Structure 1
Amino acid sequence: MELGRWGDHLRKSWVVATVLLAGASTALAQDAEAEWRTTSSLIQTEPPAEEFTRYSYVNPDAPKGGTLNSAAFGTFDSFNPFIVRGTPAAGLGQFGGLLWDTLMQQSPDEAGTSHALIAEAFTYPDDYSSAIYRLNPDARWHDGEPVTAEDVVWSFEKLKEISPAYSRYYANVTAAVAISEREVEFTFDQTGNRELPHIMGDLAVLPKHWWEGENARGQKRNIANPTLEAPLGSGPYRIASFDPGSRIVWERVEDYWGAEEPVNIGRNNFDRMTYTYFQDDNAEFLAFTRGGFEDIRQETSTRRWAVEYNFPAFERGDVIKREFISGGIQHMQAFAFNMRQPRFQDRRVRQALTLAYNFEEQNRLQFFEMNERFSSYFERSELASSGVPEGQELEMLEAHRDALPQELFTEEFKLPVFDTPQAQRDNLREAVRLFDEAGWAIQGGRMVNKESGEQFRIEFLGSSPTSEIITGGYIANLRRLGIDATLRIVDTSQYIQRYQAFEFDAVTARFPQSESPGNEQRDYWSTQAADAEGSRNVPGIKDPVVDALIDKIIYAADRDELVAATRALDRVLLWNYYTVPQYFQPTMRYAYWNKFGIPEKQPEYSGIDPQSWWILQDREAEIEEQIEEAE
């Protein structure tokens, strides 16, 4: 489990000053004044009463020092997280990670909000046709060189060229132009997309002079290739050392340019952050119980949480269990069947596969009844569909009535429930009926195609023994239907490669969402993304109705329209049975070694921000001594 990115870090708020804008674009020049924003929100419609000076939950006087030990799963072979090839090291990410700052920083405390970082402010016209970002004059690379508008333009152009994620995320951004030494204008191929000016703040800014330079061997660098040369960054940490594939150590940058920026006050408190890689989840847990390899662990296994925290360090109080509550969306986890393969393209087949998943039994026998079932792709938010469609949502769906399941308009969507033995029989019987309608029949105990005689097969792809827990009961029920269902566990690198290339029958997929969905929905569900390697459209959805509803979300004129469009999309995804929803933990369960100072409150939206924690160095020394004695 990697702790390199805590929380989903979304966005919210608004902002401050109004100044004259000289040298603006044609669209902006029509206004005598332009509003420069230091905070951007896609949810709030009114500016806050006070200017943002720091996150409210942090300790601004938190001391610096100590080491945060973390575990990562699998391996790594690259420090370039922007390309499909290679597996990037822990601490890196497509939107900067620990190494590169972005124009704005997504807030862990408020949904749909970003605050100034490399960009000290931004502005845009009323029709959302462009945006200008003004850089902070203090922004510096770790070699002391200033971050320039030229760096921003180069980063935008290169990332759109080499990164499928950036290419889709910024598909409607046509150009980035340096209009002065500190200002960059982004132009869009459309108007009315209120999200575009905002999401430009997510751009990771990279050092053009480093990537276009030469390495120690005199070879020219190429950002389109994997690399194990530690890149030059601008963020709070730099790579100190590493063992390829097994360990990476990050060190805090003492003269980090942004240390006193509001988003960083009281955060980035660890002098060193180490990630040790494990190939097995059980080995990782044993290393955690021993100490020195993983200091903070999000416990996703309900069985471990319930019965396995009885090791010596826990019993003597050196390890603490604590549940955090997130106010954000629960991120959908589901079985995704590869609709690029013909046998999964029939909706009746996918509905039958949904009827075979017995969540209630799995929750009772394996999860101590501590998990809850997903019923929406936007679980626990106002974006989740419920009941039957009405109002604006109904109007949007009516436009596609002939292309939608008719029960969508008259029935509340409900997943099958296995609460009695009779319910199990009824659900499996209905699954057999649906298979029969779709051209499959049970012959000699095997579910076969009526025309070809080929047995229906599903191979679930996994990367750890945990996959056996997730799929075990489901596979047993599928076999009762005569389906040849199996699980194949492969090493992490192969799993990632096959997952990104869609070389599987079925996988467990996650679809993290924000409370302000927008352009990223194309990467999740659009026809365009279905065959784009590395996209998040894991099931391979190609549905004109889904494409149209994504556009409704992106071009929503206000929050009410956005909510209605998202509920409509949610409803269409559910009723088409594009995935089989699994389960979630209602609280965030963490265990950690008792060496931290922790703010009294944690962020309401993400639920936890360990970057706001700090090391109690006396406790750290005591724990290290106890670990040495135990060895």
Structure 2
Amino acid sequence: MNERMNRIAQTAGLAAILFGFGLGASLADEWRTVSSLIGVSKYDKGFERYDYVNPDAPKGGTLDSTVNGTFDSFNPFIPRGTPVAGLTEFGGGLLYETLMNQATDEPGTSHPLIAEAFQYPDDFSSATYRLDPNAKWHDGKPITAKDVVWSFDVLKANSPAYNRYFHNVTEAVALSEHEVRFTFDQKGNRELPHIMGDLVVLPRHWWEGADASGKKRDITQPTLEPPLGSGAYRIESFKPGSEIVWARVPDYWGAKLPVNIGRQNFDKRRYVYFQDDNAEWQAFTKGGYEDIRVENSSRRWATEYNFPAFMDGDVKKHAFQQTAGEPMQGFVLNQRRPQFQDRLVREALTYAFDFESMNRNLFYGLYKRTDSYFQGGELASSGLPEGVELDILNEFKDKLPPELFTQPFKLPVFDSPKATRDNLRKAFDLFKQAGWTNKGGKLVNAKGEQFRIEFLGRDPNDDRITSPFIDNLRKLGIDATLRIVDTSQYINRTRAFDFDVVTTVMMQSQSPGNEQRDFWSSPAADIQGSRNLMGIKDPVVDALVDKVVFAKDRAELIAATHALDRVLLWNYYVIPQWHNPDAWIAYWNKFGIPEKQPSYIGADVDSWWIDKDKEAALAARYKNAN
């Protein structure tokens, strides 16, 4: 056991006490190696590795993947350019690393990565992170506190995601070569010390240096110069816009960290870009382009896994159970457009969306209707508000819809011809209350202007899920259309909020906090690139977000989240679509897979490995396929 592991072992017992009720204030300023916002970690007696991985998993081989669209940048942290696969807007991706690593098998928990421990005072007014002295960049130089401070400063200044996430962090200061203190503008925010572990660390010396031509690098601009990183992979080669190959770093400094044991087993990860989903699908069925496919089409899952390789057993498919909760997927109504600013209009549009017929006719009955922004767990609101949640909502009673207090929130159900007629009639009545009337088959306002909606999409298959909704809207007299644009244009338009309606997916944590500001707050509505696509500017929502952020314990957090969820639903900012309770994954039979997979995320592909015998057998059978 090395010096670092000795330090972790010595503090493991302490961590179990500290986090018995989440991120507590007891024993302030003690160094902690486990960060949990929910309760005692399953590894409270010491974290040696994830319990589902194969610690002896062999390394080697190539994981082939496909991506839809294109790329033009290796800088994912700015609202310009389209970043390459393997890099993420938030987090480290394959190249970079964060201070702590979010757990794959339990919610609200993080384990050491670049930082080996952290501490905070009992008023939560700051947090100090201690770096692992072994952490280094791919060029061999050590990762220092100055890198962390520089990363915090440039990301908060240039990344919309990090700017809102760290809104309440006023300063980062290097206390020594391996210690950094973050100071907060408020006390009592129990989440802030924890989420500082999500800060991605960038190499200051590389970004402040010059490229091969002598030109000074600029982190505020897109680039196609492969950056220096510290993660398990580096860029080996690429073809702009069409392909990138990542290679595992042989002397990766963090290979023996508990979070990495039995993981990151592929020597190379290759991503090939396709321009449409059907081409990607055909590439998967032939082999050699996409080894693992996360399936998001119910039609394909139900009817199209009948190609030769699947029938011969060379391609497998499996539904992995996932317990992390479901995202809100839905049609976003952009309130920056005047036609969506009336809540009655948004409610009317919701009454025109027929999920049940689509699920029956298009989705083979495989999806469930989403009716919460925090679907699938204790954070979702239900029934009528009561207890602490009711107390919270009563503070804003005169600013909320009265029915929020007297009726459970329910989405319209289209389970019969009569229900269809009733729902469309209800939609028309709501439009009428909002000042829209039908004249000559057109829904018009007092000025005689017809109600218009343009749905914005980036995949030809969007027509399949949008057309039934458009048909119902046209029955109401609405001029509804769908416009398909290329991926780059779609990204740019959504970043700039230049759309009427788009479909989005809003992932949520089991321990919501500061990130809620990026989804719902008034300031975020005016920041291009934020996740407040809806354009919500509501003082009540802002206040409820603060109650979530400043919740003193888990019970208060749940109550505040219920209140936020309920208010969002009753304001009809999004027309909820559906979710799949399982993770559908299909793969070519070339892998070794641990017997157990983490149900929290469904499947951890990083814990899989190439089985050389299986791969050789496939290669022999399909050597002429491409």
Does residue 143 (structure 1) correspond to residue 139 (structure 2)? The answer is yes
Q: What SS does the corresponding residue of 1:408 show, helix, strand or coil?
A: helix
| Equivalent in the alignment of 1:593 | 588
Does residue 346 (structure 1) correspond to residue 369 (structure 2)? The answer is no
Kindly provide the CA deviation profile for residues 117-153 of structure 1, in whole angstroms up to 9, marking residues without a partner as x.
1000000011100000000000010000000011000
Aligned AA (1:120) = E
Deviation at 1:585, TM superposition (A): 1.1
Corresponding residue to 1:525 among 517, 520, 523: 520
Structure 2 counterparts to residues 171-250 of structure 1, below 5 A: 171-250=167-246
Q: What SS does the corresponding residue of 1:35 show, helix, strand or coil?
A: coil
Deviation at 1:621, TM superposition (A): 2.2
Does residue 131 (structure 1) correspond to residue 133 (structure 2)? The answer is no
Q: Distance in 1 between matches of 2:611 and 2:41?
A: 40
| Equivalent in the alignment of 2:473 | 478
Kindly provide the CA deviation profile for residues 224-250 of structure 1, in whole angstroms up to 9, marking residues without a partner as x.
000000000000000000000111100
Q: What SS does the corresponding residue of 2:622 show, helix, strand or coil?
A: helix
| Equivalent in the alignment of 2:408 | 412
| Equivalent in the alignment of 1:294 | 290
| Equivalent in the alignment of 1:22 | none
| Equivalent in the alignment of 2:113 | 117
Corresponding residue to 1:51 among 42, 46, 49: 46
Q: CA RMSD in A?
A: 1.5
Q: Distance in 2 between matches of 1:121 and 1:355?
A: 51
Farther-moved stretch of structure 1 (539-548 vs 31-40):
31-40
Contact 2:133 2:178 in 1 (8 A): yes
Does residue 259 (structure 1) correspond to residue 255 (structure 2)? The answer is yes
Kindly provide the CA deviation profile for residues 355-380 of structure 1, in whole angstroms up to 9, marking residues without a partner as x.
00000000011001111100101111
Q: Distance in 1 between matches of 2:40 and 2:387?
A: 22
Deviation at 1:282, TM superposition (A): 0.6
| Equivalent in the alignment of 1:28 | none
Structure 2 counterparts to residues 525-564 of structure 1, below 5 A: 525-564=520-559
Does residue 582 (structure 1) correspond to residue 572 (structure 2)? The answer is no
Q: Distance in 1 between matches of 2:326 and 2:291?
A: 25
Contact 2:47 2:258 in 1 (8 A): yes
Aligned AA (1:105) = N
Deviation at 1:57, TM superposition (A): 0.7
Q: Distance in 1 between matches of 2:568 and 2:365?
A: 27
Does residue 509 (structure 1) correspond to residue 504 (structure 2)? The answer is yes
Structure 2 counterparts to residues 590-629 of structure 1, below 5 A: 590-629=585-624
Kindly provide the CA deviation profile for residues 147-173 of structure 1, in whole angstroms up to 9, marking residues without a partner as x.
001100010011111111111110100
Aligned AA (1:62) = A
Contact 2:28 2:119 in 1 (8 A): no
| Equivalent in the alignment of 2:3 | none
Q: What SS does the corresponding residue of 1:131 show, helix, strand or coil?
A: strand
Aligned residues: 607
| Equivalent in the alignment of 1:23 | none
Contact 1:441 1:448 in 2 (8 A): yes
Contact 2:582 2:602 in 1 (8 A): no
Contact 1:17 1:36 in 2 (8 A): no
Aligned AA (1:448) = V
Aligned AA (2:104) = P
Deviation at 1:604, TM superposition (A): 2.1
| Equivalent in the alignment of 2:20 | none
Aligned AA (2:621) = Q
Q: What SS does the corresponding residue of 1:34 show, helix, strand or coil?
A: coil
Contact 2:68 2:273 in 1 (8 A): yes
Q: What SS does the corresponding residue of 1:357 show, helix, strand or coil?
A: coil
| Equivalent in the alignment of 1:153 | 149
Q: What SS does the corresponding residue of 1:264 show, helix, strand or coil?
A: coil
Q: Distance in 2 between matches of 1:92 and 1:237?
A: 11
Contact 1:392 1:564 in 2 (8 A): yes
Aligned AA (1:308) = E
Structure 2 counterparts to residues 452-467 of structure 1, below 5 A: 452-467=447-462
Change (3 A) 1:90 1:15: farther
Q: What SS does the corresponding residue of 1:629 show, helix, strand or coil?
A: coil
Change (3 A) 1:587 1:126: same
Change (3 A) 1:559 1:618: same
Corresponding residue to 1:387 among 374, 380, 383: 383
Change (3 A) 1:474 1:46: closer
Contact 1:78 1:88 in 2 (8 A): yes
Q: Percent identity?
A: 65
Deviation at 1:73, TM superposition (A): 1.1
| Equivalent in the alignment of 1:89 | 84
Q: Distance in 2 between matches of 1:32 and 1:553?
A: 24
Kindly provide the CA deviation profile for residues 398-433 of structure 1, in whole angstroms up to 9, marking residues without a partner as x.
000011000100111000000010110111011111
Deviation at 1:39, TM superposition (A): 1.1
Q: Distance in 1 between matches of 2:275 and 2:494?
A: 18
| Equivalent in the alignment of 1:6 | none
Contact 1:327 1:606 in 2 (8 A): yes
Deviation at 1:622, TM superposition (A): 2.3
Query: Stretches of 4+ moved more than 3 A in 1?
Result: 45-49
Q: Distance in 2 between matches of 1:211 and 1:476?
A: 52
Aligned AA (2:605) = P
Q: What SS does the corresponding residue of 1:179 show, helix, strand or coil?
A: strand
Deviation at 1:15, TM superposition (A): 6.4
| Equivalent in the alignment of 1:4 | none
Contact 2:330 2:577 in 1 (8 A): yes
Q: Distance in 2 between matches of 1:498 and 1:48?
A: 44
Deviation at 1:17, TM superposition (A): 6.4
Deviation at 1:33, TM superposition (A): 7.4
Does residue 367 (structure 1) correspond to residue 363 (structure 2)? The answer is yes
Q: What SS does the corresponding residue of 1:367 show, helix, strand or coil?
A: coil
Deviation at 1:113, TM superposition (A): 0.6
Contact 1:58 1:266 in 2 (8 A): yes
Contact 1:101 1:235 in 2 (8 A): yes
| Equivalent in the alignment of 1:70 | 65
Q: What SS does the corresponding residue of 2:482 show, helix, strand or coil?
A: strand
Return the TM-score normalized by structure 1: 0.95
Structure 2 counterparts to residues 306-325 of structure 1, below 5 A: 306-325=302-321
Corresponding residue to 1:569 among 538, 551, 564: 564
Q: Distance in 1 between matches of 2:275 and 2:533?
A: 24
Q: Distance in 1 between matches of 2:193 and 2:28?
A: 18
Aligned AA (2:492) = Q
Contact 1:336 1:579 in 2 (8 A): yes
Contact 1:18 1:34 in 2 (8 A): no
Q: Distance in 2 between matches of 1:483 and 1:49?
A: 58
Deviation at 1:46, TM superposition (A): 7.7
Does residue 163 (structure 1) correspond to residue 159 (structure 2)? The answer is yes
Q: Distance in 2 between matches of 1:505 and 1:313?
A: 42
Q: What SS does the corresponding residue of 2:117 show, helix, strand or coil?
A: strand
Aligned AA (1:104) = M
Contact 2:13 2:45 in 1 (8 A): no
Kindly provide the CA deviation profile for residues 566-619 of structure 1, in whole angstroms up to 9, marking residues without a partner as x.
000000000111110000112111110000000001112111100000000122
Does residue 496 (structure 1) correspond to residue 491 (structure 2)? The answer is yes
Q: What SS does the corresponding residue of 2:527 show, helix, strand or coil?
A: coil
Corresponding residue to 1:60 among 43, 51, 55: 55
Deviation at 1:45, TM superposition (A): 5.3
Q: Distance in 2 between matches of 1:135 and 1:89?
A: 28
Corresponding residue to 2:425 among 429, 437, 448: 429
